[in-house]
């Protein structure tokens, strides 16, 4: 519902950011989302071609940063910790 007519990696990164948020919120395990990421990227590459990993990480970081308000907005009891974890993950994605 938030698809854009822009770089397709923006949508892919946004989806991956939502998966990252599930790990921070402890509703999914890192291994589970890694499998989903690999499957999605593999299917995407079969149709469109190779994905530039660095660009995808930046788009994922941007998507995760755009979700930074969610723990607070959703009244998550440990929202400060989750917000900090999300920011740390954004930094890691930009650095990598």
pLDDT score at 49: 93
Mean pLDDT for the stretch of residues 13-35: 92
- Of 44, 61, 65, nearest to 96 by C-alpha is 61
Where would I find the beta strands (DSSP E) of 1-96? none
pTM > 0.85: yes
Digit-coded pLDDT (tens) for 55-82:
999 999 999 999 999 999 999 999 999 9
pLDDT score at 51: 95
pLDDT band at 4 (very low <50, low <70, confident <90, very high): low
pLDDT band at 96 (very low <50, low <70, confident <90, very high): confident
Q: Longest C-alpha distance within the chain, in Å?
A: 42
Show the CA angle centred on residue 62, arms to residues 20 and 78, nearest 5°: 45
């Amino acid at each position: 519902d938030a698809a854009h007519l822009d770089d397709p990696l923006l949508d892919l990164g946004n989806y991956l950011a939502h998966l990252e948020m599930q790990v921070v919120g402890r509703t999914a395990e890192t291994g589970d989302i890694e499998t989903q990421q690999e499957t999605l990227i593999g299917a995407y590459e079969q149709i469109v071609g190779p994905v530039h990993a660095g660009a995808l990480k930046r788009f994922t970081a941007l998507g995760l940063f755009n979700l930074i308000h969610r723990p607070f907005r959703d009244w998550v009891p440990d929202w400060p910790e989750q917000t900090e974890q999300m920011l740390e993950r954004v930094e890691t994605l930009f650095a990598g």
